[in-house]
Amino acid sequence: MDLKTIVVVLGTISGFAGSTMIAARAADTVRVRGTVVSFEPSLLTVKTREGSTDAIKLPTDWKISGVAKVSAEDIKRGDFVGVASVAKTDGGSGALEVVIFPAALKGTGEGDRPWDLQPNSRMTNGTIADVTEVNGRTVTLTYDNGQKKEIAIPQSTPIITFAAATPADLKPGATVFVTAERGSDGTLVASRVVVGNSGVVPLM
């Protein structure tokens, strides 16, 4: 996967609004999580985790990416990561998923924002300032104008990076994550699909 391709993927996952124009369009952005019902060169049909069925149009230049599993031992001080998390009742946050960014892409989508992986979840993209080992890893992330402390990463937390994929991976039942734009007529259009492969699921 070339650098340009990775940049697009990570920008999609981070949900980062880099300008007022992008922020204004945020209400029209739909994150689709589910499994493939059918696939044609210009149309992907997905059964969403909510139980509905979405038809997503794909332009001629659409791209596809996969995901690859990495281990907690790959998380180290100085890494730039994206962490989906929820607040813990005893303080701090618990990671739902960790995405390790390539060093060349440090700073992509930097910051902390609400996320919709599950209720009350957040997405934090930042640099690991500290790592401790207590029943799994706990990290502190720093980002522009902020810091998020005590994000616990249990051994069961999915930790991923990105991998190559092809349209042939979009078989019925394959798990996908798609960030699409909803037009005024209700049509969903997406230029990129992230698909689970080799048993690794994109939970973003």
Tell me, what's the pLDDT at 7?
A: 46
Amino acid at site 203: L
Tell me, what's the pLDDT at 90?
A: 77
d(CA 142, CA 125): 8
Tell me, what's the pLDDT at 2?
A: 54
Overall size of the chain counted in residues: 204
d(CA 151, CA 139): 5
Domains of the chain listed by start with CATH number: 3-66+163-195 (2.40.50.140), 68-160 (no CATH)
Q: What is the pLDDT along the chain (204 residues), one digit of tens a residue?
A: 554 444 445 454 544 334 333 433 444 889 999 999 999 989 999 999 999 999 999 999 999 989 989 888 888 899 999 999 999 877 779 999 998 887 777 888 899 999 988 899 999 999 999 888 756 789 999 999 899 988 999 888 999 887 889 999 999 999 999 989 999 999 999 999 999 988 888 867
pTM of the model: 0.73
